């Protein structure tokens, strides 16, 4: 804990689903790799082999974190690239079969949604599965959407806004019965809860280092052995011909250290964070009137709660809390002066007053009970003030 406080005090950071502060051991590994192990991992000489050794260590650590063989891990620049490689790479490999239908759902991250849109532009058809009011994709809905043309099914493991965990193993079994490939974006679950690719039963899994105290710009796609994928980053023979380009050795070394640390403390840290999240959630529901939690309470990643505050505009609450020293986030995106409600909450068919006043609190390694209590002390006053302004 001590290593963390300097990053977060006196401000308290409750936005770990956006990104996390790198662990001090990660910063050390990245710095060392940047300075001392600067070789090109493809070079045969001593410098190159030192860099290659770092990649090998990271590949093993990431593989162990998700129950995969090291050779099945392809390093990328992060979650967005892994989602692109999974969907575009699988689509291109499967096009000769004539199957060109992809199924996903309305609460995916834009990295998946916009990639599916790009596939539609090149002649694919797509189905966006509905989610229920708690944000869950039902296996029955998938079963009825599957057709003989369905080549790929992509459903995220945990949602970034509400934390809800999808029944991936059940969904994957249905997709496989129909001969489709299954991808899951596990950016928000890896490092927070145990993730095992064999238990999930998927073929492709996306992860990103900066969501579990690793550096930005480093991630991986797990590709089940034997899965055909066309490289989307054409270039040299890096990553066994699956992703061209000189590897980001410092970033990948940091990813490896973050993966090892996450695995070592997964159960204890998940329990600690869940207790803090629940303290925060129960405290808000108790002390601030007109509040309701969005999304399934369970199964949910332990660090996330998304709460709507009646009669308060989310953006104003975010700014007011920031002024008090608390960093949170809204599900909404403010674009060209208009406040767009979260596409996730909209897909859950929540009424507009709930989609426009929701705040996401996402906890992580740096958070303490004292920070949660300070936030709980500030919130009723801040919300009360904003509600008075609205009523004027």
Considering the complex, state which of residue 80 and residue 104 has its C-beta at the smaller distance from ligand PLP. Answer: 80
Considering the complex, state which of residue 16 and residue 52 has its C-beta at the smaller distance from ligand PLP. Answer: 16
Considering the complex, state which of residue 223 and residue 312 has its C-beta at the smaller distance from ligand PLP. Answer: 223
Helix count and strand count (H, E) for the chain: 14, 15
Please choose, from the candidates 52, 38, 55, 21, the residue with its C-alpha nearest in 3D space to the C-alpha of residue 220.
55
Does residue 82 contact residue 115 with C-beta atoms inside 8 Å? Answer: no
**Whose structure tokens read 């070592």?**
264
Please choose, from the candidates 202, 198, 195, the residue with its C-alpha nearest in 3D space to the C-alpha of residue 90.
202
Sheet of 204-208, strands arranged across? 73-76, 219-223, 204-208, 181-185, 150-154, 101-105, 125-129
In angstroms, give the least distance from the CB of 117 to ligand PLP: 15
Q: Active site includes 334? A: yes
In angstroms, give the least distance from the CB of 109 to ligand PLP: 4
In angstroms, give the least distance from the CB of 104 to ligand PLP: 12
Terminal Cα-to-Cα distance of the chain (whole angstroms): 44
**C-alpha 144: how far from chain center:** 27
Considering the complex, state which of residue 39 and residue 250 has its C-beta at the smaller distance from ligand PLP. Answer: 250
Q: What are phi and psi of 362, to 5 degrees?
A: -125, 120
Residues forming the site for ligand PLP (CB under 6 A): 78-80, 83, 109, 111, 156, 160, 185, 187-188, 208, 210, 219
The catalytic position among 133, 292, 334, 370 is: 334
Q: What is the 8-class DSSP label of residue 78?
A: S
In angstroms, give the least distance from the CB of 320 to ligand PLP: 24
In angstroms, give the least distance from the CB of 348 to ligand PLP: 16
Residues carrying an active site annotation: 334
């Amino acid at each position: 804990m001590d290593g963390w406080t300097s990053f977060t005090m006196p401000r308290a950071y409750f936005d770990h689903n956006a990104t996390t502060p790198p662990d001090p051991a990660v910063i050390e590994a990245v710095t060392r790799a940047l300075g001392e192990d600067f070789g090109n991992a493809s070079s045969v000489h001593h410098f190159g082999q030192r860099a290659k050794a770092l990649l090998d260590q990271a590949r093993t650590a990431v593989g162990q974190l998700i129950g995969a063989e090291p050779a099945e891990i392809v390093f990328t620049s992060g979650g967005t690239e892994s989602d692109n490689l999974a969907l575009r790479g699988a689509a291109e490999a499967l096009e000769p079969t004539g199957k060109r239908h992809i199924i996903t759902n309305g609460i995916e991250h834009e990295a998946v949604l916009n990639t599916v849109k790009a596939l539609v532009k090149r002649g694919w058809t797509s189905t966006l599965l509905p989610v229920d009011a708690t944000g869950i994709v039902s296996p029955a809905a998938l079963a009825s959407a599957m057709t003989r043309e369905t080549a790929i099914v992509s459903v995220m493991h945990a949602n970034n806004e509400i934390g809800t965990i999808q029944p991936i193993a059940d969904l994957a079994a249905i997709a496989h019965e129909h001969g489709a490939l299954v991808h899951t974006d596990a950016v928000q679950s890896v490092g927070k809860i145990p993730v095992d690719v064999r238990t999930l039963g998927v073929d492709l899994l996306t992860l990103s280092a900066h969501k579990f105290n690793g550096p930005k710009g480093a991630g991986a796609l797990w590709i089940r052995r034997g899965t055909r994928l066309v490289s989307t980053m054409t270039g040299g023979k890096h990553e066994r011909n699956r992703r061209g380009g000189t590897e980001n050795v410092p970033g990948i070394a940091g990813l490896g250290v973050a993966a090892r640390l996450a695995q070592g403390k997964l159960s204890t840290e998940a329990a600690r964070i869940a207790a803090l999240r629940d303290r925060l959630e129960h405290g808000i529901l108790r002390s601030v009137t007109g509040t309701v939690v969005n999304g399934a309470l369970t199964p949910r990643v332990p660090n996330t709660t998304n709460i709507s505050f009646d009669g308060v505009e989310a953006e104003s609450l975010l700014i007011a809390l920031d002024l008090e020293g608390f960093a949170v986030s809204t599900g909404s995106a403010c674009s060209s002066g208009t406040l767009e409600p979260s596409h996730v909450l909209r897909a859950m068919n929540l009424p507009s007053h709930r989609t426009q006043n929701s705040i996401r609190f996402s906890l992580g390694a740096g958070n303490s009970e004292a920070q949660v209590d300070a936030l709980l002390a500030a919130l009723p006053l801040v919300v009360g003030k904003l509600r008075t302004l609205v009523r004027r």
